[in-house]
Every structure is written in structure tokens, then in C-alpha cells.
Amino acid sequence: MKTLYGLTDKEVLELVGSLGLPKYRAAQLLGWVYQKNALAWEEIKNLPKAALQELSKVTALVSLEPFEEKRSADGSSVKFLFKTRDGHLLESVLISNKDRQTVCVSTQLGCKIRCAFCASGQGGFVRDLTAGEIVEQVARVSRMTGKKITNVVFMGMGEPLDNFDATFKAVHILIEPWGFAFGARRVTVSTSGIVPKILDFVKSVDGRVRLSVSLHSSIEEVRTKLVPINKRYPLKELLSALRKVNQGLKREITFEYTLIAGVNDSDEEAEGVAMLARPLHAKINIIPYNPVAEFDHKAPSPEAAEHFCAHLKKLGLHVTLRQTEGKEIDAACGQLRLDRAQSAERSLNTARDSGLVPRD
């Protein structure tokens, strides 16, 4: 069954028409879902009960349910696990920073890219999320925390451009006035570098939302080890596409750079990053690596991270050093979900060993 979250204005209008309801009911429903973030039919007040009953026979309202919530000690970030209707877990994170409340949404269950430092890839790929499952994360985080969300970043589990149609539809719902009505510059879509889809995406959203690219190294071999898709779409091709985005379409680019001790934190790397970023006027977000039990990589010391940033700044770049918020809440991408999936697997094995459940 489809869900109301994830439908566009036109689709809601069609739905309302198919039930013989007047057109203005579509605008009311859109307001209840995307502006007031209703999560149960009973919360929708100004539609007749009979109309809601008819609607509920042909569409569900939501598709997620809360599963777990973990708050960092200082309360600056909260990680949420939601359960999908088919029983899988997905992650969303709220990062609070002064007047900014940013929700980081997932676009896939797991990820096919398998970056060498990311728990999402390790958990395996299950399926794409629907546009409804993507935007419902924003509504649920807002309702569960009582916070007015100001920004949305597509940087959770999954590669957004590998789930192109749902990502595009979710962005559309987030920025249109009949939807969540976020300012387009407050929505950022991040990619590991699926080159052919980058230009398609920027054109399809008319360059309105921000584009962020996971760089992680300026050296081909190192980047291929960290972000295996670099083998298919090497830096040379990626940069040529980004030049078109920046110079042809006049759109800004941000590079995300996970700084890993002894892997990509050398002065040579900083100089390479500067060479790539300067012609694109790209901003750089440095994220000190947040250790994941499954990998041997180490976090850089605070001094090494400061040094790398200072070096980039000296080379004339606009650099932000992000704090690894929520180390204690397993905030690395996909980490909490992986952890819970592994615990579930361990419990199942124990139950099998003790004969409580049959082996497959």
C-alpha cells in the first residue's frame, strides 16, 4: 500500500479526486502531512471522519516506526533508528548547533559503494528507500524532538544518486511550497562521485539545492582504496563533471573530507586537495574519522586535524573543521544500525545454538 508521505501535490490531488472528495481536501492533507507532520489519521482534524476512513482504505499515512533513540551527553546530536514496514532498520541523525537544526537522512538500507571507513557499506545493501521513507525521517525527528528543523542533508546511509528517482522526489517534496517548504539552499545532497548522475541531478533540480562531494583524497590510488567507486569514475572524470557544475551551471560545490590518521592527512594531500578545490571555488568540510570497530583506521589527533586545516587555509581555501559529534552515540554513518543488526544476528545464533529456533 502506498503512503501519504512521499506523494506530490499532483498525486494527492489525484488521490482525493479518485475518492470523489473536493479538490481543496488535497491542500488540507498536504498541510497536515508536510507542514504539521501528522503521524496518525486521528491527528488530522479538519477532514470528515468518513473521508479519512476512505483514504485509509487506499493509502497508509506513514511507513516508519520509532525503534531506538540515542542522545549524545551534551545533547548536541541524537541518533534515531526507525523500523521500516518490511522490518529493516534505518538511521537518521539530528545535529543541533545554535540556531541550526539539521537532520541527516538515509536514502538506502545499506550501501553498495562500500567505502573503506563506513559502517553502512559493511552492513550490506538491502534496498532503496522510497521518497516517503526519506521525507518521513524529517517529520519524525521534528515531532520526536519538538525542534523546528532548519536544514536537511542527504548524508546518512546510502548513496543518494544511486537511488536517483526517490532522492529527486524527496528533494522536490522538501523544497516546494506545498511540501515542507525548506529554502532550497538549506537542503544538501551528498555523493561519493557517481559521475554520470551528478550533472543529471544538478540539472533536474535546476541547481537549487547544494551539492556536496565526498573527496577523501586527492591521490587516485588512495581515493580508490577509500571510495572504491573511484576506480570506475576516477578523480579526473569527477573533476571534469564538477567543473561543468561550477563553471557551466554556476553552482557551488562542497567537498567532504574524512581525515584518517596516516592515510590522507599528509601535507602532500593538503596541497593536492588545494589544487583540486581552488579552481572550483569549493569549500572543504574536514571530518576527523570516527573509529568503527570493523576497521583498523585511526582518528587523527586534534593537533593533526588542526594542522591539516591550517595548511589548507594557508593555501587560500575555505575550510570548516567539523567536530565528530556523538562519538558516544555511534554517530559514524550506519554504525548504530550495523551494531543492532549484529546484536540481532548474535541473539538469533544463540537461540539456534540452544535449540530455541530452528536452523535454516
Residues taking part in catalysis? 91, 333
d(CA 41, CA 55): 9
Stretch that binds ligand SF4, among 109-117, 196-204, 301-309, 312-320 (CB under 6 A): 109-117
**Residue number with CB closer to ligand SF4 (6 or 121):** 121
Q: Which stretch binds ligand SF4 (CB under 6 A): 33-41, 69-77, 114-122, 270-278?
A: 114-122
Element (H, E) at 251: none
Among 115, 211, 239, 286, binds ligand SF4 (CB under 6 A): 115
31: DSSP letter: I
Report the 10 Å Cβ neighbour count for 73. Answer: 9
The minimum distance between CB 92 and ligand SF4, in angstroms, equals 13
The only residue of 111, 152, 174, 241 in contact with ligand SF4, by rule CB under 6 A: 111
Which lies closer to ligand SF4 via its Cβ, residue 189 or residue 333? 333
| Cα within 13 Å of Cα(127), Cβ side | 11
Query: Are 6 and 132 contacting, i.e. CB atoms less than 8 angstroms apart?
Result: yes
What gap in Å lies between CA 33 and CA 13, rounded to an integer? 14
Q: Mask of contacts with ligand SF4, 298-337, x by CB under 6 A?
A: -----------------------------------x----
297, three cell numbers: 583506521
Residue 334 CB, nearest distance to ligand SF4 (Å)?
6
Counting contacts by CB under 6 A, is residue 118 touching ligand SF4? yes
Closest approach, Cβ 167 to ligand SF4, in A, equals 13
Report the nearest approach of ligand SF4 to the CB of residue 264 (Å).
14
Strand partners, 108: 128
For residue 260, state whether it binds ligand SF4 (rule: CB under 6 A).
no
- Run of H or E including 24: helix 24-30
Which residues lie closer than 8 Å to 138 by C-beta, 6 or more apart? 103, 105, 149, 152, 174, 180
Of positions 3, 38, 109, 121, contacts ligand SF4 by CB under 6 A: 121
Nearest CA to 38 out of 194, 186, 11, 46 is that of 46
Query: What is the crossing angle of helices 131-145 and 164-175, to 10°?
Result: 40
174 binds ligand SF4 (CB under 6 A): no
Q: Please tell me whether residue 89 binds ligand SF4 under the rule CB under 6 A.
A: no
Q: Does 159 bind ligand SF4 (CB under 6 A)?
A: yes
Alpha helices (H) in 31-130, listed in sequence order: 49-58, 119-122
Judged by CB under 6 A, the chain residues 187 through 206 that form the site for ligand SF4 are 192
Does position 160 interact with ligand SF4 (CB under 6 A)? The reply is: no
Cβ atoms of 254 and 213 within 8 Å: the answer is yes
Binding site for ligand SF4 (CB under 6 A): 111, 113-115, 118, 120-121, 157-159, 192, 333
